Structure 1
Amino acid sequence: MGSTDFTWLIGGPQGSGVESGANIFSKVCAEMGYQIFGKREFYSNIKGEHSYFTVRISDENIHSNVNAVNLMVSFDAETIFRHYDEISSDGAIIYDSELENITTDRVNTLDSPFKDRLHKFLESKNKPFTIAGVLEVAKENGVKLYPVSFKSLLTQLSEELDNPRMRGLVRMYNVLGVSLSLGLIKMPSTSLVDSIDGIFSKKPKIAEMNKKTAIFSYNYASNNFENFNHALTGIPKQPDTILVQG
């Protein structure tokens, strides 16, 4: 395998924009020359159940996913409970800091067998049955933690743009998560803006709002997140390559 082999995971409730976020992230990486292989898993409901998307990025041809995740971004508690132990020892988790005190019992979509296994494990580690508890385990395994209040980011952005409506736009959490991820791994912001323009080419007003949100959160990560061992700054793009879904 080449010098770049990186897996990113985004998770949230079904209907919260997980797939849209993964599409933006994948398009950025593909435009920067990397080979992409993605996998989406979700329940067969419209909204509410757990959904996540993994994207593997490499500088060589790849034909499958791998188990270990190098970077996870989550804007809900269930994603952290279900996937915290998949993060590699040199990996990282970007998460909404307002989730830290949530207990497993408050996440109604966690099935009983999974919850029982998790409780038994956390008990063995003397950890509470909370997001903070599983994140402590991840940190002890070498995983870097990057907490940020998604709500506060939107509040700051709304004040900067003088647009009070931005405060409550939780549907923008996916763009926040993607952009924070790209800022952390030092992917050029121009590729992020270009990808949003391409995806929302028929909806210029939505594209503009997404671009402002993306650049704001990208800059936040660049200025505040430090000491991550991975950087994906781009490689020469191979001719006649396309990004496909199916």
Structure 2
Amino acid sequence: MQKNQLTWMIGGPQGSGINASAEVFAKACSRAGLRIYANIEYHSNIMGKHSFYRVRVGDEDVRSYRDKTDILVALDHETLAGDGDHRRWPTHYGHLHEVNEGGGVIYDGEIGFDIAGGRTDLHFRAVPFMELIKKALEEVGKGEQARRYEVMKNTVGLGASLALCDYPFDLVAEVIRSQFKGKRSEVGELNVRAARLAFEYVKEHFDTSKFPYTLKPYPEPKARIVAKGYEIHAIAKLKAGCAFQTYYPISPATDESVFLERQQRDYNLLVVQCEDEISSINMAVGAAHMGVRASTATSGPGFALMVEGIGFASITEAPGPVLILYQRGGPSTGMPTRQEQGDLQFALHPAQGDFPHLVIAPGDLRECYQDTFSAFNWAERYQMPIIVLSDKKLASVYTTIDKLELMYDQIDRGEIFTGSEWTPVAAKGPNDQGTQAPGHNGNGHKLDLANVKEYLRYALTD
């Protein structure tokens, strides 16, 4: 029997709510004192394509996922067996082969999956998803609307999997309710009821005592942060005093700017969605020149459009901006929702010629927090653009963090111009003796410098 060491996976078509169920499960585990590390893999469309979400749970700090899973929740046939039954060339072969020996498989009994001739070392549990949803709706007089609430299959699968690993249901019910507040609280209660019916169904119809993986909450759990990578980048910007953020929507960078948009009223921040990436970088450069801590965020294709603006920021010695580059699969549009770390050379040499700029590459979320914060200090201290190399994996990871701490937490704005540094200096030169040798201004007009009353130039004193 393995306790509090578990990888849980849910798969289904996009739009079926797998991310909601996975994050409810992750939050419930975190609130119970366990540590989690979760990530989602999805296609670059809105509905229909296969996606899956992994949640790894452990007693100690977890900083990566495992390819193998202990519990698989399948909302459709494709999650189990792949797409070879309806495609000439399969793109994947499902996730059954990724389930560890002795693991459990929760699947919808209506999908027609035949376990005969398959793996005999797994605990297959067929659950009537729609039947349980209809039963939950009948209790509130909405039984005829079952198809309208089909999306609740994700909660049914979650509830059934909790029974399999013997996890207390009430901890998850509390998190579900917290997701549905106000007018949506009724929907939250329906989800809780559907999940509970699934939990009870598995307990009544199957022997769960022989399942080798269990989860148990800590009696006195510690409070921990549960956050995604793009949120950590955004929080670091707020901590650093970022006052101006520009962006043009592009995966996976958009989530950071959307998060900051929700915070701008509380943190004296302006977030501008521009017409394109060229505008985004140039507006950020202009703001930096005006003394504002400015930033932008993009991915590979957007970064390709920003290169002239980055060169302009460097040659004009702008104190920024800070640019978060969320790397993804390339080239060109490439694979917008897939992981790749292929932009290092591009970030080192982004425009024509060679020019000073910094490139920082954090390795985990704790480094993302420190490096993004420090990037604003370096931008203003050394008056140059700063590129922070993130990626899709760091952006979408959902994990527990004991505490967000900065080893270097001082804001350093470099040398600040106050006005007192300017000292008038008399403009005397070889042509400045009376009217003997008249000088000329930049337009070629002659003038007698000896008779000019105003100071012609000023100099910065050390």
One-letter code aligned to 1:243: V
Q: Hey, what does 1:243 align to over in structure 2?
A: 226
Match of 1:84 among 87, 96, 99: 96
TM-aligned CA deviation for residue 38 of structure 1: 0.3
Does residue 1:49 correspond to 2:31, yes or no? no
**1:155 to 1:240, Cα distance in 2 relative to 1, 3 A:** closer
Alignment check: 8 A CA contact 1:34 1:237 kept: no
Sequence identity percentage: 30
Q: How does 1:139-154 map to 2 (within 5 A)?
A: 140=120, 142-154=121-133
Matched length: 212
Q: Hey, what does 1:216 align to over in structure 2?
A: 197
Q: Hey, what does 2:213 align to over in structure 1?
A: 230
TM-aligned CA deviation for residue 99 of structure 1: 1.5
TM-aligned CA deviation for residue 236 of structure 1: 4.1
Partner Cα distance (2:43, 2:14) in 1: 8
TM-aligned CA deviation for residue 163 of structure 1: 2.1
Does residue 1:174 correspond to 2:186, yes or no? no
Q: Hey, what does 2:87 align to over in structure 1?
A: none
**1:245 to 1:201, Cα distance in 2 relative to 1, 3 A:** farther
Partner Cα distance (2:136, 2:117) in 1: 30
Does residue 1:132 correspond to 2:114, yes or no? yes
One-letter code aligned to 2:62: I
Q: How does 1:99-118 map to 2 (within 5 A)?
A: 99-100=111-112
Q: TM-score, normalised by structure 2?
A: 0.44
Deviation digits for residues 2-54 of structure 1 (CA, Å, limit 9, x no counterpart): 95321000011011101011111111111111100001000000000001000
Does residue 1:157 correspond to 2:120, yes or no? no
Alignment check: 8 A CA contact 2:31 2:221 kept: no
Alignment check: 8 A CA contact 1:10 1:54 kept: yes
Partner Cα distance (2:126, 2:27) in 1: 25
Q: Hey, what does 2:21 align to over in structure 1?
A: 21
Q: Hey, what does 2:37 align to over in structure 1?
A: 37
Partner Cα distance (2:165, 2:3) in 1: 15
Deviation digits for residues 78-113 of structure 1 (CA, Å, limit 9, x no counterpart): 11111011001110100012222xxxxxxxxxxxxx
Does residue 1:62 correspond to 2:62, yes or no? yes
When structure 1 is superposed on structure 2, of 232-241 and 83-92 the one drifting more is 232-241
Deviation digits for residues 213-234 of structure 1 (CA, Å, limit 9, x no counterpart): 2222222222223232222121
Partner Cα distance (1:156, 1:196) in 2: 19
Partner SS state of residue 199, structure 2? helix
Partner Cα distance (2:177, 2:225) in 1: 17
Partner Cα distance (1:240, 1:28) in 2: 12
Partner Cα distance (2:62, 2:33) in 1: 13
Q: Any gaps of 5 or more consecutive residues in structure 1?
A: 101-130
Alignment check: 8 A CA contact 1:34 1:59 kept: yes
Q: TM-score, normalised by structure 1?
A: 0.80
Partner Cα distance (1:209, 1:39) in 2: 27
* Greater radius of gyration (CA): 2
One-letter code aligned to 2:189: E
Higher helix share: 1
Q: Any gaps of 5 or more consecutive residues in structure 2?
A: 82-93, 230-462
Partner SS state of residue 70, structure 1? strand
Q: How does 1:179-198 map to 2 (within 5 A)?
A: 179-198=159-178
Alignment check: 8 A CA contact 2:9 2:73 kept: yes
